[in-house]
A and B are shown apart, each in its own frame.
Chain A
């Protein structure tokens, strides 16, 4: 890139003669070592507990009421996009231009998306309708 410009090079300061080298020892801390230091790795990590494939894990927040028996407004969802769908799992679906949560049921060779609130309709998955299973809900976290 530089070649293309009218390169005009100068060295500003060039103190090569003074480059005396001696070993760098690093930061030294004084004082009594903490007896807890050896146990430092024993801690509980929610990340480790709730997320096993970090690349494909996404968060979402619940609003609305179609799954009111399973979720409350404001629940935090931990969704794994890489998981294959399975009977009885709750999926984050994209239907009619919206994201929605539904439980997956298989009956008589057909696949249905079932809302847990009975006031809402059951949806049969067919390709013309363009249902996308975006990911599978692994955990939900609720504030109490």
Chain B
């Protein structure tokens, strides 16, 4: 059996812990630069504020409804996430952290009342951190996702923890779930499914495998098996990521090569730092760009390029050099890019790596990177960066930032009166 644990309205919940007077009030959290809404409390959802709402357009809605607005406080959210994940790791030897607010636990061999076990997780996490969670437990990962959705949708009936442990419950759940809400079924696949009259998950499960394979690839087929109750989607080990992606929507459409290069350089340097953190070297980089698909009258271009590196490396200098070589291949003049990113993949362990005879990472970079990472860690920001990187981080708009209650001794709670 697998459990999927998910924090309820995670960012809003983090803000509430250190300001309980926000309980029951609408909260939104804004993206970097206070651009658009990236998280909403239930109260904000019921006001009809959509995900991704541009902050400037919704200012009057916020004011009229007394919505509390926060700039994203990632040091706080990251620390709270770490606490939640650490508490949950006590419930199974096998944990896969899926995102900042979600993880899977493999409950194989744990012979207890699983509903009770879920409720225990809930009370341990909520008592220890103040973060409310929902738990779904089922024979496969895709079904545990579905069980979680039920737990979240019906908190009173389920107590926030729901177990699918009979075929009857599985069928009932599949009849309830819309195909667009199936884990991993994207917008495009949902469209295909609706087009052939498959509206609920149960319809998807009953489709011939050949149709699923043809229209939704092996990924769709695995998903279908998982929903049938045959475990197909495996647990991934958590210790090390297999790829690191840094992707962003730009604040404005970028119109020059230098602007795009700066972003790609910054993303690559960020990825390289994460790579060094987990002591991996990477052998491939993907660089990609996207134009603004909402500006239909402008040229649409979505290039991506895979760069195989001549040697595995985690040096920012080397990775940036290769990423920029790739960028030059795909960049086109007079095309305006709205989004872009890099993905580092194909990792080898830095300790196990065997150097080759001719092409190797410059050994001097190892020390240099260690020094840069050390300085940046010590001074808590990017004090050292590559010349082509922008200083944007310091200019970020964060007008509604709460304190770094858990990570900065100068910003901890004050108690008094």
- In the bound complex, what is the Cα–Cα distance between A10 and B306 (angstroms)? 6
Contact B20 A8 (CB under 8 A): no
Residue of A nearest to B85 (CB): A55
Contact A55 B306 (CB under 8 A): no
- In the bound complex, what is the Cα–Cα distance between A82 and B21 (angstroms)? 20
- Chain B, interface size category, equals 35 or more
- In the bound complex, what is the Cα–Cα distance between A77 and B137 (angstroms)? 38
Residue of B nearest to A74 (CB): B414
Q: Which residues of B contact A66 (CB under 8 A)?
A: 416-417
CB of B99, distance to nearest CB on chain A (Å): 16
Q: Which of B358-417 contact A (CB under 8 A)?
A: 358-359, 405-406, 409, 412-417
CB of B242, distance to nearest CB on chain A (Å): 14
- In the bound complex, what is the Cα–Cα distance between A62 and B86 (angstroms)? 28
Q: Mark A1-45, 1 if CB is under 8 A from B, else 0.
A: 010111111111111001111111010000000000000000000
A88 at the interface (CB under 8 A from B): no
Q: Which residues of B contact A109 (CB under 8 A)?
A: none
With A13-B359, A23-B354, A94-B20 known as contacts, the answer to whether A59 contacts B322 (CB < 8 A) is: no
- In the bound complex, what is the Cα–Cα distance between A132 and B126 (angstroms)? 14
Contact A64 B417 (CB under 8 A): yes
- In the bound complex, what is the Cα–Cα distance between A24 and B281 (angstroms)? 15
B127 at the interface (CB under 8 A from A): yes
Q: Which residues of B contact A7 (CB under 8 A)?
A: 304, 306
Residue of A nearest to B305 (CB): A8
Partner of B415, one of A21, A54, A99: A99
Contact B415 A61 (CB under 8 A): yes
- In the bound complex, what is the Cα–Cα distance between A63 and B412 (angstroms)? 12
| 6 interchain residue pairs of minimum CB distance | A64-B416, A56-B128, A63-B416, A60-B413, A5-B302, A13-B310
**A–B complex contacts, Cβ < 8 Å, 7 sampled:** A5-B302, A13-B309, A13-B310, A15-B310, A99-B416, A100-B415, A100-B416
Give residues in A with beta carbon < 8 Å to B. Answer: 2, 4-15, 18-24, 26, 53-56, 58-66, 77, 81-82, 92, 94, 97-101, 132, 134
Excluding A64-B415, A82-B124, 19 further A-B contacts by CB distance (< 8 Å) are A8-B305, A8-B329, A9-B304, A10-B306, A12-B322, A12-B326, A14-B308, A14-B310, A15-B358, A18-B358, A18-B359, A21-B356, A24-B353, A55-B86, A59-B412, A61-B413, A81-B129, A92-B413, A99-B415
